[in-house]
Amino acid sequence: MTAEAGRLGRTAPEPARRPDPAAGPGRSLGARLTAAVGGGVVRTVLIVVALFWLVPTVGLLVSSLRAPADMSASGWWTVFGEPSRLTFDSYRNLLDNPDITDSLVNTVLITVPATVLVVVIGSLAGYAFAWMEFPGRDWWFLIVVGLLVVPVQVALIPIAELFGTLGLFGTVFGVVLFHVGFGLPFAVFLLRNFFAEIPRELLEAARLDGAGELRLFARVVMPLAGPAVASLGIFQFLWVWNDMLVALVFTKAGTQPITVALQTQVRQFGNNVDVLAPGAFISMVIPLVVFFAFQRQFVTGVMAGAVK
Amino acid sequence: MAPAAAGGVAKTVAPPPAPRTRKSVTGTRRTAAALFLLPALVLLGALVVYPIGYSVVRSLYDRSGDSFAGVDNYRALFTDDGIRTALRNNVVWVVFAPTIATALGLVFAVLTERIRWGTAFKLIVFMPMAISMLAAGIIFRLVYDQDPDKGVANAVWVGVHDTFAESSAFPRAHPGRDSPLRPAGGGAFVTRAAVHSGETVVLPLVGVAPDRMPDSARNAVPPTPEPGKITGTTWQDFTRGKGVGTLAGVDPGELGYAGMRIEAVRDGTVVASAKAAPDGTFTLPAAADGAHLRLPASNFKEPYNGLDWLGPSLVTPAIIGAYIWMWAGFAMVLIAAGLAGIPRDLLEAARVDGADEWQVFRRITVPLLAPVLGVVTVTLMINVLKVFDLVFIIAPGSSQDDADVLALELYRKGFSEDEPGIASAIAVFLLLLVIPVMWFNIRRLRREVRR
């Protein structure tokens, strides 16, 4: 995003002297007047919108830092009058609660393998679709692309039964498998398109040096795949980390990730904001760090994978 | 932009040039290809393709799965009350959420184009995409809290409302024992006796909770007579913790009803009116001579408490609001990328020809962006069909039935009501709804892939 946004931000010339229309790209007087008059309005509107977008999150953050008694007495915005009343107690209590800490561990145990496996398996298949020859290659690829939009919901009941039969129901491994399965169409699609752009000469040169398929894949293709793997990895990571529905169906007490642990609390909403607010914020921290650190890759991944 | 990005954006924005023919460079043996593909195909087959088939078959069997039920489960889609509500809500979702999010995204993308801190703005609006629907749900449970002292939505709404509507300060105030006032119907109170100029009047009431008294209220002061005028005091005739004090007499520490409206009524018409000072005193002109004093009902209305955002009628729009908060950034970023691809010369040419900014936007920008807008809207529609977490989290138990959507109904039918047949029918129905998009994706890619 930063790249495009930066570029976009600089395209509009500052209204200055009246440009001579014949002298090149300039703006008409009317446009410049509009810009001069409307500029202030536009800025105000955008500031209001930005506040509108920020306030809900700020509300959660402030709420998570207030004592339960304060929370039932007044709105979170009153805290700006007396910031000394903020406290980390809710966080301390939450992190002393083994249910919560265990579920955070489970979130990591589900998310990391589900991300790594999708990248590895997706890369292998993406390479095969891009550079190997076998009958019906393109048809197979199109089928995989077709699976991109299959709603997760379609698989809940069948896979619940299947996992029940296989003894995978309620296990971390089962949830990981499910996420890998539904992450693969996008992974294969993204990586195959990326690999197909690699210059043929590179691969042929390595081939002449006697490299086999596995060596080509590991030594030539994968080292070039950094940007695609980053986009895919970040996208899949956030997808799995943020998932609630799949985990809600396929985990049980003991293997629940943080999202499921928190949703059980939502049923008593009102008297447990001191659990929900810091819990929600803790669950958001990693995604937000990832978001701010890897905006570019994240945007690329979201753009390509939004059809999911 | 990195090749990955080019490929990725191509998916939704502009297809890249078709790749050259890519013959294998190694003269692949089929076993090698099979080994590379095996893990992916096995997992896709078992976890994505098999469930589709299973759902189709299962949807044709009854609850227990033992006997064939034909289309009974599909008939339930249109007869079951829960599913019908869900269908109706899904229509509302699909019509409003994607269009509003796309429209906002377009507006934001175009407006930020000429602002130096546009990137910061985009970052803020896009950020909710990174967090879970669960976290967003909890965030909006807080926002939509009914109590205007807790939920920011109602705090703002009540603030706006009270700016334009008269607010009342004394809910539940009423005459105490042996009061000179009596109820006058409709919530107003009126003096039993007429008042005369030069005299003083006392209008004591009780029943306003101490924390509800206006901040401006001061200790009440007994009225002092003034010739040719009617003077009086209206106050809270109750001293907390000190017994009742003097009935109908101003005791120290009792607070005046600051801002109370007093009307002098004679023969049914208001002849004079006054507003009480912070100490509760008021003065009426001689015109009020012989009238009864009335405390109109507007003084005693319950304070406006805002909207019941998560009640049955507003819950779906409220959750759609939360969804737009999450996804408008997505639309904005995709549209901004499309905007960057519009040739500047075209816009400049139009401006040079005398088109104003609105005409440029309406006649050039939007038509050129139409493909992007279409892709964004369709993408959001697919996404909206599957919305589950937000509804599950934001809708309180009491209005969850009213907020129901297909994905939630599928979950309920499949996992809490033990109706796997009907749940499978819902799943197949959802799948049918996305098949046109599936077909569209495949068709577009086939052109690229085929040689």
Same domain, B323 and B290: no
> From the list A28, A74, A281, which residue is nearest B149 (CB)?
A74
CA angle (B179 as vertex; B177, B181 as ends), nearest 5 = 135
- pLDDT tops 60 at residue B1: no
User: Residue B325's closest chain A neighbor by CA?
Assistant: A53
Helices (H), chain A: 2-9, 29-64, 68-73, 89-95, 98-131, 137-146, 153-166, 172-196, 200-208, 213-215, 222-224, 226-242, 245-250, 258-266, 273-293, 295-305
Angle of the A226-242 helix axis to the A295-305 helix axis, nearest 10: 80
Query: Which token pair is A68?
Result: 């339960």
Do A69 and A142 lie in a common domain? no
Q: Are both A117 and A173 inside the same structural domain?
A: yes
Q: Do A76 and A133 belong together in one domain?
A: no
Residue B444 has pLDDT above 60, yes or no: yes
Question: Which DSSP symbol is given to B64?
Answer: T
Q: In whole numbers, what is the pLDDT of chain B averaged over residues?
A: 83
Same structural domain for residues A115 and A80?
A: no
Residue A119: domain span:
98-305
Return the percent helix, strand and coil in chain B, to nearest 5: 55, 10, 35
Express each pLDDT in B61-99 by its tens digit. Answer: 888 878 888 888 898 888 888 899 999 999 999 999 999
Q: How high is the pLDDT of residue B165?
A: 65
* CA B114 – CA B134 distance, rounded (Å): 35
Identify the closest residue of chain B to A216 by CA–CA distance.
B26
The CA distance from B246 to A105, in Å, is 67
CATH number for position A191? 1.10.3720.10
Does residue B430 fall inside a structural domain?
A: no
- B440 falls in which pLDDT band (50, 70, 90)? confident
Q: Report the alpha-carbon distance of residue A222 to residue A191 in Å, rounded.
A: 10
The whole-angstrom separation of Cα A174 and Cα A191 is 25
At A70-108, the pLDDT tens digits run 777 777 888 777 777 788 888 888 888 888 899 999 999
* Helices B315-340 + B133-143 axis angle, to 10: 120
Residue B369 lies in a domain: yes
Residue B13 falls within a domain, yes or no? Answer: no
pLDDT band at A18 (very low <50, low <70, confident <90, very high): very low
Chain B CB contacts of A55 below 8 Å:
143, 152
In a domain, B67, yes or no: no
Residue among B49, B138, B427 whose CB faces A276 most closely: B138
Q: Is residue B169 part of a domain?
A: no
SS3 readout for B357-390: HHHHHHHHHHHHHHHHHHHHHHHHHHHHHCCCHH
User: B235 with B179: CB under 8 angstroms?
Assistant: no
In this complex, do B142 and A145 lie within 8 Å of one another by their Cβ atoms? no
Per-residue pLDDT reduced to its tens digit, B125-146: 999 988 999 999 999 988 988 8
Q: Percentage of chain A with pLDDT > 90?
A: 33
Residue A23 in domain? no
Domain boundaries, position B239: 181-299
Query: Which range has the worst mean pLDDT, A7-16, A73-82, B164-173?
Result: A7-16
Q: What are phi and psi of A268, to 5 degrees?
A: -100, 30
pLDDT above 90 (res A242): yes
Boundary (domain end) residue, out of B265, B299, B333? B299
Same domain, A115 and A167: yes
B265 falls within a domain: yes
B350-378: buried (b, 16+ CB within 10 Å) or exposed (e) per residue? bbbeebebebbbeebbeebbeebbebbbb
B329 falls within a domain: yes
Identify whether residues B200 and B264 lie together within a single domain: yes
Q: How many domains does chain B have?
A: 2
Domain at B86, CATH number = 1.10.3720.10
**Residue from the list B1, B34, B131 with its beta carbon closest to the beta carbon of A242:** B131
Interface test with B, best of A138, A143, A193, A283 (most B CBs within 10 A): A193
Give B224-228 contacts, CB < 8 A, sequence gap 24+: B224/B200, B225/B198, B225/B199, B225/B200, B226/B198, B226/B283, B227/B197, B227/B198, B228/B197, B228/B198, B228/B286
Tokens, residue B248: 């109908």
Question: Which residues of A are less than 8 Å from B39 in CB distance?
Answer: 121, 124-125
pLDDT at A10: 33
Confirm whether A269 is domain-assigned. Answer: yes
Tell me if A16 is assigned to some domain. Answer: no
In this complex, do A287 and B131 lie within 8 Å of one another by their Cβ atoms? yes
Percentage of residues of chain B with pLDDT beyond 90: 23
Q: Are residues A104 and A40 in the same domain?
A: no
Least confident of A249-253, B3-7, B101-105: B3-7
- Do residues B327 and B258 both lie within one domain? no
pLDDT at A5 over 50: no
- Over residues B155-179, mean pLDDT: 76
> Do residues B315 and B401 share a domain?
yes
Report whether pLDDT(A264) > 60: yes
A247, pLDDT greater than 80:
yes
Helix (H, G, I), strand (E, B) or coil at B200: strand
**Measured in Å, how far apart are chain A's first and last C-alpha atoms?**
20
Same domain, A80 and A192: no
**A248 falls in which pLDDT band (50, 70, 90)?**
very high
| Banded pLDDT at B25 (limits 50, 70, 90) | low
Contact A31 B357 (CB under 8 A): yes
CB pairs under 8 A between A and B: 418
pLDDT tops 80 at residue A168 = yes
Of residues A185 and A6, more confidence is placed in: A185
Q: A189, B34: Cβ pair inside 8 Å? A: no
User: Mean pLDDT over residues A4-32, rounded?
Assistant: 41
Residues within 8 A of A (CB atoms), B 91-110 only? 108
Instruction: State whether B293 and B314 are in the same domain.
Output: no
Q: Is A301 a member of any domain?
A: yes
Least Cα separation, residue A164 to chain B (angstroms) = 14
A72 in the same domain as A145:
no
Q: Do A60 and A142 reside in the same domain of the chain? A: no
Query: Could you tell me which residues come within 8 angstroms of residue B419 by beta carbon, excluding any fewer than 6 positions away?
Result: B63, B413
Is A151 close to B430, i.e. CB distance below 8 A? yes
Can you tell me which residue has the tokens 């980053």?
A: A230
Instruction: Identify the pLDDT of residue A4.
Output: 37
pLDDT tens-digit readout, B180-199: 888 887 778 888 888 888 88
Residues of chain B with C-beta less than 8 angstroms from the C-beta of A19 = none
Nearest CA in chain A to B143: A56
- In this prediction, the answer to ipTM > 0.85 reads no
Assess whether B351 and B261 both reside in one domain: no
Question: How many domains are there within chain A?
Answer: 2
Chain B hits for A238, CB-CB cut-off 8 Å, are: 130
In a domain, residue A196? The reply is yes
Residues of B in contact with A127 (CB under 8 A): 36
Answer yes or no: do A223 and A258 share one domain.
yes
Given this model, what pLDDT does residue A269 score?
A: 66
Residues of B in contact with A37 (CB under 8 A): none
Together in a domain, A42 and A172 = no
Q: Taking CB atoms and an 8 Å limit, are B112 and A9 in contact across chains? A: yes
Q: Is residue A143 part of a domain?
A: yes
Q: Using the beta-carbon criterion (under 8 Å), do A28 and B354 form an inter-chain contact?
A: yes
Most B CBs within 10 Å, among A18, A71, A100, A132, to test the B interface: A132
Domain assignment present for residue A2? The answer is no
Q: Are residues B318 and B360 in the same domain?
A: yes
The pLDDT of residue B22 is: 53
Is the confidence at residue B201, as pLDDT, over 50? yes
B54 in reach of chain A (CB within 8 A):
yes
B331 & B364 share domain: yes
Does residue A71 sit in the same domain as residue A161?
A: no
Does the beta-carbon distance from B25 to A34 stay under 8 Å? no
Model pLDDT, residue B243 = 59
Contacts of A284 in chain B (CB under 8 A): 131-132, 135
> How many C-beta atoms lie closer than 10 Å to residue B411's C-beta?
21
Q: Which of the residues B119, B127, B138 would you substitute to probe the A interface, choosing the one with the greatest number of A C-beta atoms within 10 Å?
A: B138
Q: Which residues of A touch B22 (CB under 8 A)?
A: 130-131, 196, 200
Asked if B25 lies within 8 A of A203 by C-beta distance, the reply is yes
Same domain, B294 and B320: no
Q: What is the pLDDT of residues A184-215, one digit of tens each?
A: 999 999 899 888 888 888 888 888 887 777 88
Chain B residue with CA closest to A144: the answer is B44
Which of these ranges, B8-22, B220-234, B414-428, has the smallest mean pLDDT?
A: B8-22
Rounded to an integer, the average pLDDT of A21-45 is 58
Percent of chain B with pLDDT over 70: 89
Is residue B112 assigned to a domain?
yes
Q: How far apart are CA A235 and CA A304, in angstroms?
A: 10
pLDDT for B7 equals: 33
The pLDDT of residue A265 is: 82
Distance CA B426, CA B406 (A): 7
Min distance A13 CA to chain B CA atoms (Å): 8
Which residue intervals of B127-283 are DSSP H helices? 133-143, 152-164
User: What residue in B sits closest to A203 (Cα-Cα)?
Assistant: B25
Q: Over 60: is that where the pLDDT of B16 sits?
A: no
The per-residue pLDDT for B240 is 60
Task: Tell me if A173 is assigned to some domain.
Answer: yes
Model confidence band, residue B384 (pLDDT cutoffs 50, 70, 90): very high
Q: What is the pLDDT of residue A54?
A: 92
Task: For residue B351, name the pLDDT band (cuts at 50, 70, 90).
Answer: confident
B216 to chain A, any CB pair closer than 8 A? The answer is: no
CA proximity to A274, closest of A94, A147, A97: A94
